Amino acid sequence: MRLGFKSSPGCVLLSVDYSQIELRIVAHMAGDEAMLNAFRAGQDIHAATAAAINGIALEEVTKEQRRHAKAINFGLIYGMSAFGLSRSTDLTLGEAENFVKGYFENFPGVKSYLDNIRILATRQGYVETMLGRRRYFPNLANPVNVNMKNREEREAINAPIQGTAADIMKLALIHLPPALSAKKLQAKILLQVHDELVLDVPESELADTAKVVQSVMSEAYKLSIPLLTEARSGINWGSMQVLHD
């Protein structure tokens, strides 16, 4: 379907997306030093997670170990349990339970953060993004059944993380038009999909526009670790090539 989205005559499409913004938000909000240090060192966060859990060097991590670590890194954002991890990977339930246990032993700040979110959501009846936007969970203190409780807890864990990512993207969208105008660039913002912006850009202005967009997105909100972006371009949305500095 993306092949159907094409640039205007004389233009190319520019796509810029955040790199692992939700995991960076988790690291920042949890204040977990192990995760923060991995990001600060520019490490592959999934490989670093696999190395920590398996007690091996970063260069010894296998593709399978990285895949399992990636599943739990992203699964945590959605409140995934050991059972959920086993369902989404080839791990047995016992292996998944050990994997989750090892994860929290190596990233204790993340465990404390997730536990506190559950407690706060139940006590307050709401959670907040870093910018103060609330999502309410009025039934969490007195759920109708266990399924409702588990579902609302998962949503309460996810809301501050995914909500903060959405807030940061909205800030970038506010700041981007004046930043482009200040440089007299003619790019037009076409659409935003989750953590990605797509623009229609005159071909002669591609490099300058990419630099402005990446700068605005990276500086939209300050975390304790950098917000990184990746830029791609192409004549249609389905055949983008990575832009290198």
Q: Which of 178, 154, 245, 149 is nearest to 206 (CA)?
A: 245
What's the mean pLDDT when you consider all of the chain? Answer: 94
Residue 195: pLDDT band (50, 70, 90) is very high
DSSP label at 236?
Answer: B
CATH of domain 2-20+169-242: 3.30.70.370
Q: Give the 3-state secondary structure of residue 63.
A: helix
Record the pTM. 0.92
pLDDT at 194: 92
Among left, alpha and beta (phi > 0; psi -120 to 50; other), residue 161 is alpha
The answer to whether the CB of 235 falls within 8 A of the CB of 3 is no
Instruction: Please give the helix or strand (H or E) that residue 33 lies within, else none.
Output: helix 33-40
pLDDT tens per residue across span 134-163 = 999 988 888 878 888 888 999 999 999 999
Task: Please choose, from the candidates 166, 173, 137, 178, the residue with its C-alpha nearest in 3D space to the C-alpha of residue 154.
Answer: 137
| Whether residue 1 has pLDDT greater than 80 | no
216 band by pLDDT with thresholds 50, 70 and 90: very high
Instruction: Specify the pLDDT at position 80.
Output: 83
Domain ranges within the chain, ordered by starting residue: 2-20+169-242, 21-164
Residue 193: the pLDDT is 94
Alpha-carbon span 196 to 190, nearest angstrom: 11
Given a cut of 90, is residue 77 above it in pLDDT? no
pLDDT at 148: 84
pLDDT digits (tens, 9 = 90+) for 25-63: 999 999 999 999 999 999 999 999 999 999 999 999 999
Instruction: Please confirm, yes or no, whether 17 is among the known catalytic residues.
Output: yes
Question: pLDDT by residue (tens digit) across 113-123?
Answer: 999 999 999 99
* pLDDT reading at 245 higher than 80: no
User: What is the model's pLDDT at position 146?
Assistant: 85
**Listed residue (15, 14, 6) closest to 205, CA to CA:** 14
> Which of 50-59, 74-83, 148-157, 204-213 is predicted most confidently?
204-213
Q: What is the largest CA-CA distance in the chain?
A: 60
The candidate with the shortest Cα–Cα distance to 229, out of 239, 216, 240, is: 216
CA 222 vs CA 21, 36, 144, 227, 237: distances in Å = 12, 14, 40, 8, 29
Cα separation, 170 vs 217, in Å, equals: 10
From the list 17, 32, 167, 195, the catalytic residue is 17
88: pLDDT confidence band, cut at 50, 70 and 90?
Answer: confident
Name the class of domain 21-164: mainly alpha
pLDDT, mean of residues 12-25:
97
Q: Per-residue pLDDT averaged across 208-233, rounded? A: 98
> Are the C-beta atoms of 230 and 17 separated by less than 8 Å?
yes
